[in-house]
């Protein structure tokens, strides 16, 4: 699933390509992509609307139109392209926006898990978007805030970092990378980590995300940006996807474990658990 750096990369490219254009019409070919309202009303709400800005919140793309907010979540493999109508479409193109510039904004999704909502001013935001926690780069987010929020929590650090209600936009790749950079084991109980250490973790989260954004995200599987280009950060990954390979810091073997049902990559030497791990993890203190 695209995470914050990939979605931000798509956002920046789409902003360059379509901001200021006008949606003349929309063809919805797979109705379940549209969650709200009905597909026919979705089309009516978007027709003849100017694309004022393309923004991002967590892993959501937000197309700010005049009077309507188009909320799009790429899920596993959703992908936007901007093309001339004469250009061949990607396979599994499910939604096509015809633009006043003569181009088309196309949405393709092999897995068909992506979603779109067209929200009028005054309507409630989609539940997932409305429940998002602060952005990782929010200057108000600090170790003391997380320490207060997580005090007494036995849930593993990684579990809470993946919870979009805690911090928006983080996913498997960048949580693994940030925890490694901070020297924290993913199974460390969140409530046992002090504010100063959480400040270090936030610093590393921000640094990893910033580097990934500069490189256009990570094309670990099928991600491509708004221009169809692969990301470049995957060649800089320290632990994610490197099971059995040497740790770039100590040379020991990277291990893969399960945390919150997700494959998790860790260097046991560089990321020791300083307090007891939650029961049932198979990892000792």
Cite the annotated binding site for DNA by residue number: 92, 111, 153
Q: Which of 2, 126, 156, 186 is catalytic?
A: 2
Q: List the Cα angle 107/170/42 in 5-degree steps.
A: 30
Active site residue 256: no
Q: How far is CA 117 from the centre of its chain?
A: 18
Query: Backbone phi, then psi, for 160, in 5-degree steps?
Result: -75, -35
Query: What distance in Å separates the CA atoms of residue 158 and residue 196, rounded to the nearest whole number?
Result: 18
Of the chain, the end-to-end C-alpha distance in Å amounts to: 32
Query: What distance in Å separates the CA atoms of residue 11 and residue 106, rounded to the nearest whole number?
Result: 14
Q: Which of 49, 59, 158, 242 is catalytic?
A: 59
Active site residue 89: no
H helices then E strands: how many in the chain? 7, 11
Active site residue 3: yes
Three-state secondary structure call for residue 202 = helix
Q: Which of 249, 262, 268, 278 is catalytic?
A: 262
Active site residue 126: no
**Listed residue (84, 70, 74) closest to 7, CA to CA:** 74
Query: Backbone phi, then psi, for 181, in 5-degree steps?
Result: -60, -35
Annotated binding site: 92, 111, 153
Catalytic residues: 2-3, 59, 262
């Amino acid at each position: 699933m695209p995470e914050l750096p990939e979605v931000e990369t798509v956002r920046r490219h789409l902003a360059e390509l379509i901001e200021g254009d006008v949606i003349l019409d929309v063809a919805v070919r797979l109705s379940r992509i549209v969650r709200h309202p009905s597909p026919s009303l979705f089309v009516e709400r978007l027709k003849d609307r100017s694309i004022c800005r393309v923004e991002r919140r967590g892993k959501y793309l937000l197309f700010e139109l005049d009077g309507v907010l188009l909320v799009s979540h790429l899920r596993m493999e959703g992908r936007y392209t901007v093309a001339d109508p004469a250009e061949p479409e990607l396979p599994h193109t499910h939604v096509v926006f015809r633009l006043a510039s003569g181009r088309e904004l196309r949405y393709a999704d092999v897995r068909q898990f992506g979603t779109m909502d067209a929200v009028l001013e005054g309507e409630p935001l989609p539940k997932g978007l409305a429940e998002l926690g602060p952005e990782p780069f929010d200057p108000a987010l600090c170790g003391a805030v997380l320490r207060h929020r997580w005090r007494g929590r036995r849930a593993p650090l990684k579990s809470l970092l993946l919870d979009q209600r805690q911090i928006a936009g983080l996913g498997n790749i960048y949580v693994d990378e940030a925890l490694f950079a901070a020297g924290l084991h993913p199974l460390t109980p969140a409530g046992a980590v002090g504010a100063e250490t959480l400040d270090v973790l936030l610093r590393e989260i921000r640094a990893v995300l910033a580097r990934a954004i500069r490189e256009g995200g990570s094309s670990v599987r099928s991600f491509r940006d708004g221009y169809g280009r692969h990301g470049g950060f995957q060649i800089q990954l320290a632990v994610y996807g490197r099971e059995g390979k040497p740790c770039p810091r100590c040379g020991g073997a990277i291990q893969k474990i399960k945390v919150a049902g997700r494959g998790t990559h860790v260097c046991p030497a560089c990321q020791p658990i300083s307090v007891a791990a939650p029961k049932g993890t198979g990892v000792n203190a």
